[in-house]
Structure 1
Amino acid sequence: MLLYVDSQFASPYALSAFVALRTKGIAFEVVPLDLAASQNTTPDYKETSLTGRVPTLVCDGFALSESSAIAEYLEELHPIPRLYPSSPQARARARQVQAWLRSDLLALRQDRSTEVIFYRPTVSPLSPAGEVAAKKLLQAASALLAHGEGHLFGQWCIADLDLTVMLNRLVLNGDPVPEALASYARRQWQLAAVQEWLRFPRPAL
Structure 2
Amino acid sequence: MSLVLYANSSYTSPYALSAFVALTEKGLPFTLETLDLEAGANLLPAYRDLSLTTRIPALVHDDFVLTESSAICEYLDEAFPAPGHPALLPPGLRQRARARQLQAWLRSDFLPLREARDTRTVFYQPATEPLGAAARAGADKLIHAAEVLLDGNGEHLFGAWCVADTDLAMMLQRLIKNGDAVPARLRDYAAAQWQRDSVQQWLRLLPIY
Scaled by the length of structure 2, the TM-score of the pair is: 0.96
Other structure's SS at 1:8 match: coil
CA distance, structure 2, for counterparts of residue 3 and residue 44 of structure 1: 15
Q: Which string of whole-angstrom CA distances, capped at 9 and with x for unpartnered residues, describes residues 141-168 of structure 1?
A: 1111111511000000000000000000
Q: Which string of whole-angstrom CA distances, capped at 9 and with x for unpartnered residues, describes residues 87-123 of structure 1?
A: 0000000000000000001110000000111102112
Within a 5 Å distance, the mapping from 1:1-205 to structure 2 comes to 1-80=3-82, 81-202=86-207, 204=209
CA distance, structure 1, for counterparts of residue 164 and residue 205 of structure 2: 23
Other structure's SS at 2:50 match: helix
Q: CA deviation at 1:126?
A: 0.4
Q: CA deviation at 1:174?
A: 1.0
CA distance, structure 2, for counterparts of residue 190 and residue 84 of structure 1: 19
Percent of pairs identical after alignment? 53
Determine if contact 1:8/1:203 at 8 Å carries over to the other structure: no
CA distance, structure 1, for counterparts of residue 77 and residue 134 of structure 2: 36
What root-mean-square deviation, in Å, do the aligned CA atoms of Structure 1 and Structure 2 show?
0.9
CA distance, structure 2, for counterparts of residue 18 and residue 201 of structure 1: 13
Q: Would you say how many aligned residue pairs link Structure 1 and Structure 2?
A: 204
- Which residue type is aligned with residue 163 of structure 2? I
Which ranges of structure 2 fall in alignment gaps of 5 or more residues?
A: none
Q: CA deviation at 1:201?
A: 3.7
CA distance, structure 1, for counterparts of residue 156 and residue 74 of structure 2: 19
CA distance, structure 1, for counterparts of residue 66 and residue 208 of structure 2: 26
Runs of 4+ in 1 over 4 A off after TM superposition: none
CA distance, structure 1, for counterparts of residue 207 and residue 56 of structure 2: 16
Other structure's SS at 1:19 match: helix
